[in-house]
Structure 1
Amino acid sequence: MMITRRAPIARDLPAELLPEDLCLFAIEVPDDAAIARLNPAPSEDAGCVEVGDAFLKAGNALVMLVCSVVVPQDWNALINVRHADIAQVVVRKEEPFRLYLWLLA
């Protein structure tokens, strides 16, 4: 399974604090990887942090799919770097990602 995602961007971060080294990654995870799907996602920040922490701590799934806040019809893939199968995740492509600040205005 190929997953392509931009680096996350905090919507409340002032433009002058945005990192200049954002990257776009295309990664490949095994077809038989354990994947959790969070639907619906918690509506408050604390609930999201709690669910994310539990996902990492449990270690049951390599990937957790969560609804995109920006594009509700799409999913974001969170990779559990503590999972036993993390070595099977392969970065196929990495390229700089330029954020146009006028989009945040």
Structure 2
Amino acid sequence: MKQITPADVEQKLSAKEELQLIDVRETDEVAQGKIPGAQNIPLGLLEFRMHELDKKKEYTLVCRSGGRSGMAAELLDRNGYHVINMTGGMLKWNGPTE
């Protein structure tokens, strides 16, 4: 599974690179702050909503600490999606939130 650090994600966003971010935390967790532009699809709903995603795009998956996003990455990878897990999750995120 491909991985990326929160610092590298922040650097790419600062350089105006277009990233497809999916935050797999629960709605109440996301309400406390998420990476700007990230789409919230809670892990428990991902299996039922993955048809909304484009298999031609690469998605960076985010959660609180990296565990749930790792599980989400495995699920999407098994189903033919291009994914990267953000290691350390929001606990290691030092960039802006919305």
- With normalisation by structure 1, the TM-score equals 0.27
The structure with the largest helix share of the pair is 2
Q: Which has the higher strand share?
A: 1
TM superposition score normalised by structure 2:
0.28
